[in-house]
């Protein structure tokens, strides 16, 4: 992941008022995780699977603080059960930032399912999302994701793809 993209993500999170980041690390956003860990304004909480991260982020919402769930897009599959219950069931929003594994041009066979399942799952979960491929669009996309999540009380997602992560 490009260094200027890492900075843009953190700028966006700060503008959105995020103080807690929960994540399960992946390779495409590899440089983002230590940068989040090192940021004095953000507490990071690594989790054992993305569903746990979704629930944790939901709990942070209930406290009045703002959280983000950062993961590979495959994490959406692990978190679907939790996201469905939190969002569709109770109206507790989780804002997600995920890498776009399996995008057109993917050269790993194992990553193909991640690309195949991501958008249908987001749509099934009625989760609005923005796919960002330009660094200068990252910050505002993140701010927008929080505005919509806190107006709809439902999940939103920012997907980082293209040259940002590859």
- As given in the structure block, the two tokens for residue 153 are 């009380």
- As given in the structure block, the two tokens for residue 14 are 């700060």
Binding flag, residue 61, other proteins (CB under 8 A): yes
* Sole binder of other proteins in the list 48, 105, 107, 120 (CB under 8 A): 48
E strand intervals along 47-165? 67-72, 95-99, 129-132, 156-160
Binding flag, residue 90, other proteins (CB under 8 A): yes
E strand intervals along the chain? 20-23, 43-46, 67-72, 95-99, 129-132, 156-160
The size of the chain, in residues, is: 166
Q: Residue 152 CB, nearest distance to other proteins (Å)? A: 11
Binding flag, residue 128, other proteins (CB under 8 A): no
Alpha carbon distance, N-terminus to C-terminus of the chain: 7
Site string for other proteins, 95-124 (x = CB under 8 A): ------------------------------
What is the Cα–Cα distance from 60 to 85, expressed in whole angstroms?
Answer: 16
Which part of the chain contacts other proteins (CB under 8 A), choosing from 32-40, 46-54, 101-109, 158-166?
46-54
* Sole binder of other proteins in the list 64, 104, 109, 120 (CB under 8 A): 64
The residue ranges that bind other proteins (CB under 8 A) are: 20, 22, 43, 45-49, 51-65, 67, 81-82, 85-86, 89-92, 150-151, 153
């Amino acid at each position: 992941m490009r260094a200027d993209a890492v900075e843009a993500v953190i700028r966006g999170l700060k503008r959105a008022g995020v103080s807690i980041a929960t994540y399960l690390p992946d390779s495409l956003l590899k440089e983002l995780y230590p940068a989040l860990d090192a940021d004095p304004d953000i507490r990071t909480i690594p989790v054992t699977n993305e569903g746990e991260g979704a629930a944790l982020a939901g709990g942070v919402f209930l406290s009045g603080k703002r959280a983000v769930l950062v993961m590979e897009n495959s994490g959406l599959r692990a978190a679907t059960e939790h996201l469905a219950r939190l969002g569709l069931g109770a109206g507790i929003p989780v804002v997600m930032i995920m890498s776009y594994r399996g995008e057109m041009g993917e050269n790993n066979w194992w990553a193909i399912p991640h690309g195949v399942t991501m958008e249908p799952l987001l749509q099934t979960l009625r989760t609005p999302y923005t796919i960002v491929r330009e660094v200068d669009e990252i910050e505002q996309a993140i701010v927008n994701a929080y505005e919509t999540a806190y107006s709809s009380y439902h999940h939103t997602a920012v997907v980082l793809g293209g040259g940002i992560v590859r």
